[in-house]
Structure 1
Amino acid sequence: LVYSIKDGEIFFASELKALLLVPEIKKEVDPESVDLFLAYQAIPSPRTIFREIKKLPPAHFLIWEQGRARLERYWDVDFSRKLRLKDKDEYAQALWDVLTEATRLRLISDVPLGAFLSGGIDSSTIVGIMSACSSRPVETFSVGFDEKDFSELSYAGLVARHFGTRHREFIVKPDVISILPKLVYHYNEPFGDSSMIPTYYVARETKRYVTVALNGDGGDENLAGYTRYWQTKLLERIDRTFASLPGASRLLSMCARGYAKYPQNTFFRVWRWLDETRRHGYGYAYARRLVAFSNEHKNLVYSPEFTRTLSGTDSFRFFSDIWPKDGNLNLLEKMLYSDFHLYLPEVLMVKMDIATMANSLEGRSPFLDHKFIELIASFPPDLKLRGGVTKYILKRKLKHFLPAEILKRRKMGFGVPVGIWFRNELKPMLVDTLLSQMALSRGYFNPAVVKRMVEEHISGVSDHSSRLWILLNLELWHRIFVDNKDYG
């Protein structure tokens, strides 16, 4: 829900573009929202890209009374209440019972129903439960790329055969980028996650066969599935060990300075992380692992004028506000909590919701059932992440349910080969859009730095793919929503 309050009246809509038709609302871009977008790939609520329009935050309702708006939260994930069970098997069974029920409830439908299947643990688990609950083969749908390093189709096919599903695969090619302006229009605001492309594509193709599709979204955020969780926990252990050494602080500062000369060196990156953690805390250090444009990157790419406009603002301040202050929470729980309040609702869920609904397909996510979230939040942290094993308790339960190849494979993520495409088929689009006079005159960025980023990426000197994708998306959004260009 988006809304705007003007002269004692409230205007609200489910899509931002509807409010842009209200004459009283100015289409003035909020510079701080642009800054947040470059950091987090999306604009977190309650902000939107426009100054005079706000977003209702997740798990809140708005009360309008006597010309005033009041926001109230009606739900939040609570890691402080712990469930005490006898052993790991009881925890695993409790997880399984609630997840099975969450999946079963989402199978209630009077229209054709299927599932997205990536070949990862989460979507494979949902497909397996669906198969156990159904008397007919489950309809499954997967998307992949010709670039083998980015394609999981072989794993998806393995799971499909394991559960006997009716499986269909779709290949995303670079020419699919032609739908990007249309996607930018659907997303209403700048959105920097490049997997919006294959998500939209698989939703469009899936709609030809079913009207509802279940997915595995939320498994990583509930059960600590991302590599950044165990990497951060490992660095925490290093930090605690290092703190006991004599002269630790002086040595830390010396090593951290080495990062300036060798930013890609793993050794110096670790030392810099430790130094930042000491100076700013774990919340700041974790946020740096999430952002696309760090403060250093933004200082380089912003024009002097835009930097002055942003004087006194800091996109990391938003993250510090959502980072838990409860000293009783484990570091892992703090990371999970912050992802429940930023990455999950503002990026992952938005991506899936808009990609599916733009194709009149309903997406359903059993891992995001509130009873499941509440249950898993009550589990001890070491049942989610044990050593370097992510999703420990789920994998324990799945030992005889999923193929061993699926349980043991490295997490791949939903990567898109835009870096390769930008050097080949999409090079003309990248250059013509970002280096156009229209784009360079927006005033946000230093034209020389943007040109250098494009040239370095195309030549292979550096990989700027994720940041170039964000800049490309922002420029296309500007053309459609500010310049009123046709989105094709």
Structure 2
Amino acid sequence: KEPIKTFSVGFPDREGNELSYARLAARSIGSEHHEVVITSEEFFRALPRLIWHEDEPIAFPSSVPLYFVSARAKKHVKVVLTGEGADELFCGYNRYRVTAWNQRLGEAYSRVVPRFARDGLSRTIDGLPWHARRYLGRTFLALSTDPRTVFFENFSVFGERALHEILVDSAALQTHDPFEDLLRCYEEGSGGILDRMTHTDLQTYLVELLMKQDQMSMAASIESRVPYLDHELVEYVVGLPAECKLRGWQTKVVLREALRDLIPAEIRTRRKMGFPVPVGSWLRGPFGAVIDEFVTGPRATERGLLEPHHLRRLADEHRSGQAEHGTRLWLLTNLEIWQRIFLDGEDSEAIMNRSIGRAVAA
């Protein structure tokens, strides 16, 4: 009988590389395993073409490796199965446990510690160096426990304060709440905070992930299917108690237990890593010229949408190591490339060969 075929993708960098675990999983099931290793240059050179395929700025850096592994799979199969939906169903994301922890401890903290002391500590944290503020500023010591603050604002790339700083015209924020749709989904959910968070992500975040999955696989001319989103499985898992999904710091509890005898313990018990792409370190190192071209360059700053001095501050802080703005700079890079393709009418291949090529060569 022909063995099942499996495919994984990674980078030469040690940061975010899970290829060894993919090999272990493949050996455990006896699959015919295929690996794709993408260099940082291949990653950036492919970006304009993939933005064209998505028809919008690419929010998820993982879209790029997803395209490459889809292209490799196309050489061997016509349809692939992927894991989208498992994190939303089984409480796999780190933000679920962090938010539950923040809310539980934050409510006790609010009952015990006087308001003036809490406000004073919050101001102290706000004035700390970025590396300390990065962690303490995302805990109950600095946040209120309402869902808008502790969940949506806390895990957004550009929170409301950041939007006011970066937008030339931030007046629209006075009449439009960027979290309006998310809060509505949260309120429409039932049960406790974990049930409401996963309900919200199933209605919003997962929709974007599925769109990304479909666009990148179709760009490689291959079909993808999502077995975790079989409606009977979704209906069953949604009805399970929250403690079957998140227990203490362990995520996906019931799924890990169900697979106890099927996958190696090294995989089943390890902490979730996600699909990290080392964009931040690339932009801080050999591909800093990408920022110069698409974030702080004259074409980007002269559009009149974003504050040039704030763009330069983000770039300078990231390069110097004062702060980690890799995700923000990634989004801003994508926004500018998208505008050049769809507003300025530039050919994506021309951008790839000229602008990206120049940045890569630098």
TM-score, length-scaled by structure 1: 0.68
Find the counterpart in structure 1 of residue 139 from structure 2.
270
8 Å CA contact 1:283, 1:323 repeated in 2: no
Structure 2 residue 88 is matched with structure 1 residue 221: yes
Distance 1:244-1:272 versus aligned 2 partners, 3 A rule: closer
Structure 1 residue 226, shift from structure 2 partner: 0.9
Aligned mate of 1:358, from 197, 210, 219: 219
8 Å CA contact 1:203, 1:359 repeated in 2: yes
Q: CA RMSD in A?
A: 1.7
- Which range is displaced more, 435-444 or 410-419? 435-444
Alignment of 1:238-277 (within 5 A): 238-245=105-112, 247-262=113-128, 264-265=132-133, 266-274=135-143, 276-277=144-145
Amino acid of the structure 2 residue aligned with 1:204: A
Find the counterpart in structure 1 of residue 166 from structure 2.
301
Corresponding residue SS for 1:315? coil
Amino acid of the structure 1 residue aligned with 2:183: S
Higher relative contact order (CA 8 A, sep 6+): 2
8 Å CA contact 2:91, 2:198 repeated in 1: yes
Amino acid of the structure 2 residue aligned with 1:341: Q
Amino acid of the structure 1 residue aligned with 2:203: H
Aligned mate of 1:186, from 39, 53, 65: 53
Measured in 2, the distance between the counterparts of 1:202 and 1:150 equals 16
Measured against aligned partners, the alpha-carbon deviations of 1:36-87 in whole angstroms (never above 9, x if no partner) come to xxxxxxxxxxxxxxxxxxxxxxxxxxxxxxxxxxxxxxxxxxxxxxxxxxxx
Alignment size in residue pairs: 345
- Which range is displaced more, 225-234 or 307-316? 307-316
Distance 1:459-1:239 versus aligned 2 partners, 3 A rule: closer
Find the counterpart in structure 1 of residue 37 from structure 2.
171
8 Å CA contact 2:102, 2:140 repeated in 1: no
Corresponding residue SS for 1:169? strand
Aligned mate of 2:193, from 331, 338, 343: 331
Measured against aligned partners, the alpha-carbon deviations of 1:205-236 in whole angstroms (never above 9, x if no partner) come to 21111111101111110000111111111122
Amino acid of the structure 2 residue aligned with 1:221: E
TM-score, length-scaled by structure 2: 0.90
Structure 1 residue 337, shift from structure 2 partner: 0.5
Corresponding residue SS for 1:241? helix
Structure 1 residue 314, shift from structure 2 partner: 2.2
Corresponding residue SS for 2:187? coil
8 Å CA contact 1:324, 1:337 repeated in 2: no
Structure 1 residue ranges without an equivalent (≥5): 1-134
Measured in 1, the distance between the counterparts of 2:148 and 2:240 equals 22
Structure 1 residue 242, shift from structure 2 partner: 2.4
Find the counterpart in structure 2 of residue 340 from structure 1.
202
Structure 2 residue 271 is matched with structure 1 residue 404: no
Alignment of 1:59-98 (within 5 A): none
Structure 1 residue 325, shift from structure 2 partner: 4.5
Find the counterpart in structure 1 of residue 98 from structure 2.
231
Structure 2 residue ranges without an equivalent (≥5): 350-362
Aligned-pair identity in percent equals 34
8 Å CA contact 2:106, 2:140 repeated in 1: no
Structure 1 residue 481, shift from structure 2 partner: 0.5
8 Å CA contact 1:273, 1:285 repeated in 2: no
Corresponding residue SS for 2:175? coil
Corresponding residue SS for 1:314? coil
Task: Tell which structure's C-alpha radius of gyration is larger.
Answer: 1
Structure 1 residue 294, shift from structure 2 partner: 0.8
Measured in 2, the distance between the counterparts of 1:216 and 1:162 equals 18
Structure with more of its chain in helix, by fraction: 2
Structure 1 residue 289, shift from structure 2 partner: 3.2
Find the counterpart in structure 2 of residue 390 from structure 1.
251
Structure 1 residue 175, shift from structure 2 partner: 1.3
Structure 1 residue 285, shift from structure 2 partner: 2.0
8 Å CA contact 1:170, 1:202 repeated in 2: yes
Corresponding residue SS for 1:193? coil
8 Å CA contact 1:174, 1:425 repeated in 2: no
Find the counterpart in structure 1 of residue 286 from structure 2.
425
Corresponding residue SS for 2:331? helix
Find the counterpart in structure 2 of residue 162 from structure 1.
28
Corresponding residue SS for 2:7? strand
